[in-house]
Chain A
């Protein structure tokens, strides 16, 4: 696992790279984002139950979406990696829906389905920044195993068996680790109430 300071430096660098894409359509900045995130996005997509070739395509699509939506990234609302996660998540939802129903040619506006913040509180941005700092601090305390277990919650049930295989542990162990890790996360989330 990365040292805390290194992770924080990465986070600041990704924000700058996204800003460079948004303001200058900077290809070098985009190449760096692609180099780091596309291969990880491919892993993320593969664990969602799609084939390797499809995961490769979806990783490309996600990076393309990052290029197109870069100007929508607002660093005061969350970190660069969290924003990249939401772009990947929405694209994955769209892809899985299309896979389930090949006859659906409707345009899904998945982004709209996550826009619920119609009455932001005046202090919500400050709260977001504080939340980010808390999450980073808490995550830094988790073991690699716990972090891996938390990852399970970002995939549908059917992906869990494959993840357990990747981690070379029985599915039951993966699930109980997930429960433990989620309990820690829940405690953290609960403190925000």
Chain B
């Protein structure tokens, strides 16, 4: 299926600039795995970054800075070291569409949070207020209506869902913030699995939401 929903230019720029939190970075990276168009746009932003860097006003380096670095080149030996890529256990190997670095994050168990809906927390190395989790819902499920206290980014990994803005399938990216009031319907066919990055807390609406609320806190 062709990807229909992309992150904004501002988000892609922030990704390439390296200013997103880890959860959001993971959500954008997951979209990039299946979106060559946005990968090309990231390369463009990096070109702009290079150009900007090369045009910065220089600041005088401390005296002897070059010699100190040169001494360390010799310490490292004559051949530049190739950076080894570590290959720890991939906890999320069975999930399609995730970038390798996300598959390597440790995960918690699947938790029931609502009828036909389960959540699996991904344990970020240092959470700095960011949350990242997988959300799995059965076909035909209406997800709880909710608003956000912060920004929520969703990237579909399998299955699909629909709301007012259209249909979202594998690779599609959806952004929700305090102004968005989601009413999400999981499409028929297969389980819908999404990677979700969230800042702040979900605010579920309605009686069921208030009952489920304590389960959302991870």
Chain A: residues with CB nearer than 8 A to chain B? Answer: 1-2, 10, 21-22, 25, 27, 30-31, 34-35, 37-44, 46, 52-53, 55-56, 59-60, 63-64, 67-72, 77-86, 88-90, 92-93, 97, 100-101, 104, 106, 108-109, 111-121, 124, 127-128, 131-132, 134-136, 139, 147, 150-151, 153-156, 182, 185-186, 188-190, 192-193
**B56 interface hit (Cβ, 8 Å):** yes
A193 touches B9 (CB 8 A): no
Say whether, besides A25-B78, A116-B32, A189-B41, A64 and B52 are in contact (CB < 8 Å). Answer: no
B residues near A34, Cβ cutoff 8 Å: 66, 69
Which of the residues B46, B53, B126, B128 comes within 8 Å of A78, measured between beta carbons? B46
A-B residue pair count with CB separations less than 8 angstroms? 208
B101 touches A79 (CB 8 A): no
B residues near A100, Cβ cutoff 8 Å: 126, 128
Query: Which of chain A's residues has its CB closest to B58's CB?
Result: A39
A147 touches B52 (CB 8 A): yes
A residues near B128, Cβ cutoff 8 Å: 100
Query: Which of chain A's residues has its CB closest to B49's CB?
Result: A85
24 A-B residue pairs with Cβ-Cβ distance under 8 Å, sorted by A, are A2-B55, A30-B73, A34-B66, A37-B53, A39-B60, A40-B56, A44-B53, A56-B65, A67-B76, A68-B76, A81-B47, A97-B126, A104-B125, A109-B86, A113-B29, A113-B101, A116-B29, A124-B39, A127-B40, A131-B40, A135-B47, A186-B10, A188-B44, A189-B12
A155 touches B61 (CB 8 A): no
How many residues in B have their beta carbons less than 8 Å from beta carbons of A? Answer: 64
Which of the residues B55, B66, B125 comes within 8 Å of A106, measured between beta carbons? B125
Query: Which of chain A's residues has its CB closest to B66's CB?
Result: A34
A92 touches B43 (CB 8 A): no
- State the CA gap A30–B72 with chains docked (Å): 13
Q: Contacts A71-B82, A93-B18 given; 13 further ones with Cβ under 8 A?
A: A21-B80, A37-B53, A78-B46, A89-B17, A101-B126, A104-B126, A109-B101, A120-B36, A147-B55, A150-B48, A154-B17, A188-B44, A189-B44
